[in-house]
């Protein structure tokens, strides 16, 4: 590898990380940290062994036939926990099935098994988090996460979803943030997820673009009034 290639990869990793680093979550209120509802906190697990080498799809894949070119690497037990978490994080409701039922767990596996820098970083976060969940479950209830009762699991997820976590919970909370983000991406990019959001699009509409519906424009008018902004025309 020439120095320039190494440098370029480093930039790309930095660039890929930037949009996230620049974002400031709106809902994160500064202030007192929320202590977890348990005294003993399992330490973040030691670094995992690196993934066996795998190949990406390359710079010139056949776009008409998209294919995942790398093997999935989650163990059966890890995958089961991911599916369990998927149905907790995005459960079935009247509008759409749960993430587990839609197979989003397979997407998580595809993601953390991908031989690219961002995905490998996520791999460490996700696999570390899965191990931590089991460690913490054993610490509290002497059982792995999958063996807990639904209320016990829910209590753990609640502890991983506080707005201002205690320092010892920072890494587990970051794990849940990332897992939640991946489930949202994996779920809402599916046709069922788009339908859940009420997404309308991806359909050719020949002729001039119709623009917003009267209902959408009426909503905007009301909003402009509430913001004390004048009505607007194209």
Partner 1 sequence: MTPDNATAPADVIIVGSGAAGGMAAWSLTKAGLRCLMLEAGRDYDPQSEVNMFAADSDAPLRGSSTPDKPFGYFDATVDGGWEIDGEPFTNTEGTDFRWWRPRMLGGRTNHWGRHVPRWGPYDFKPFSRDGLGVDWPIAYDDVAPFYDRVEKIIGVNGGPIGLENHPDSPPDCLMPPPKPRVTELLIKAAAESVGIPVRPAHTAVLTRDMPDAVAPRQACFNATPCGRGCTIGAMFQTTTSFLPQAKATGRLTIVTDAMVARVLAGISGRATGVEYVDRRTGQRHQVRARAVVLAAGTGETTRLLLNSGEPGRGLANSSGELGRNLTDSTGASFAAFVPGLADRPRYNEDGISGQHIYIPFWDYERQKRGELDFARGYHFEIGGRFGIPPMSAMPRVWGPALKQAVRHASGATVSLTLRGEMIPNKDTYCEIDPIVKDRFGIPVLRFAFRWSRHEVNQVAHGRRSAMKVFEAMKGKLLFDPMIPPEKIMTAGGEIIHELGTARMGGDPKSSVVDSYGQAWDADNLVLMDGAIFASGAHKNPTLTILALALRASERLAERFKAGAIA
- Please list every residue from 38 through 77 that binds partner 1, using CB under 8 A: 56-61, 63-64, 66-69
Which one of 2-10, 44-52, 76-84, 138-146 is the stretch in contact with partner 1 (CB under 8 A)?
2-10
Among residues 184, 170, 119, 139, which one has the least CA distance to residue 39?
A: 139
For the residues of 197-213, what is the DSSP string, one character each? Answer: HT---SS---SS---S-
Helix (H) or strand (E) holding 40: none
Q: Among residues 53 and 207, whose Cβ is nearest to partner 1? A: 207
Q: Which stretch binds partner 1 (CB under 8 A): 36-44, 46-54, 116-124, 133-141?
A: 116-124
Instruction: Rule CB under 8 A: choose which of 24, 30, 40, 142 binds partner 1.
Output: 24
For position 132 contacting partner 1 by CB under 8 A, the verdict is: no
Region 137-176 residues binding partner 1, contact defined as CB under 8 A: 154, 157, 161-163, 176
Give dist(CA 187, CA 200) in Å, integer.
16
Q: Determine, following the binding rule CB under 8 A, whether residue 209 of this chain makes contact with partner 1.
A: yes
Q: How far is the CB of 179 from partner 1 (least distance, A)?
A: 10
* 204 vs 60: CA distance, rounded Å: 27
CB of 52 to partner 1, least distance (A): 18
Report the residue number, 39 or 59, with the smaller CB distance to partner 1: 59
Residue 80 binds partner 1, judged by CB under 8 A: no
Backbone dihedral region for residue 202 (phi beyond 0: left; psi -120 to 50: alpha; all else: beta): left
Q: Which is nearer to partner 1, 27 or 47 (CB)?
A: 27
Site stretch for partner 1 (CB under 8 A), options 38-46, 74-82, 112-120, 135-143: 112-120
Other Cβ atoms less than 10 A from the Cβ of 93: the count is 9
Beta-carbon contacts of 144 under 8 Å, excluding residues fewer than 6 positions away, are 134, 137, 138
């Amino acid at each position: 590898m020439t120095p320039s290639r190494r440098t370029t990869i480093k930039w790309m990793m930095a660039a890929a990380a930037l949009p996230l680093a620049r974002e400031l979550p709106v809902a994160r209120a500064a202030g007192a940290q929320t202590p977890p509802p348990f005294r003993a906190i399992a330490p973040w697990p030691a670094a995992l062994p690196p993934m066996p080498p795998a190949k990406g799809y390359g710079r010139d894949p056949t776009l008409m036939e998209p294919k995942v070119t790398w093997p999935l690497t989650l163990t059966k037990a890890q995958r089961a926990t991911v599916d369990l978490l998927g149905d907790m994080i995005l459960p079935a409701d009247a509008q759409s099935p749960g993430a587990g039922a839609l197979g989003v767990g397979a997407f998580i596996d595809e993601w953390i098994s991908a031989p690219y820098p961002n995905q490998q970083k996520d791999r460490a976060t996700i696999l570390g988090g899965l191990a931590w969940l089991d460690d913490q479950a054993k610490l509290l209830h002497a059982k792995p996460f999958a063996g807990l009762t639904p209320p016990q699991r829910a209590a753990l997820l609640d502890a991983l979803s506080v707005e201002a976590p205690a320092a010892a919970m920072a890494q587990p909370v970051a794990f849940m943030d990332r897992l939640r983000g991946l489930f949202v991406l994996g779920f809402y990019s599916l046709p069922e997820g788009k339908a859940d959001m009420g997404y309308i699009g991806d359909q050719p509409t020949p002729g001039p673009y119709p623009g917003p519906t009267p209902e959408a424009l009426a909503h905007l008018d009301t909003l402009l009034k509430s913001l004390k902004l004048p009505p607007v025309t194209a």
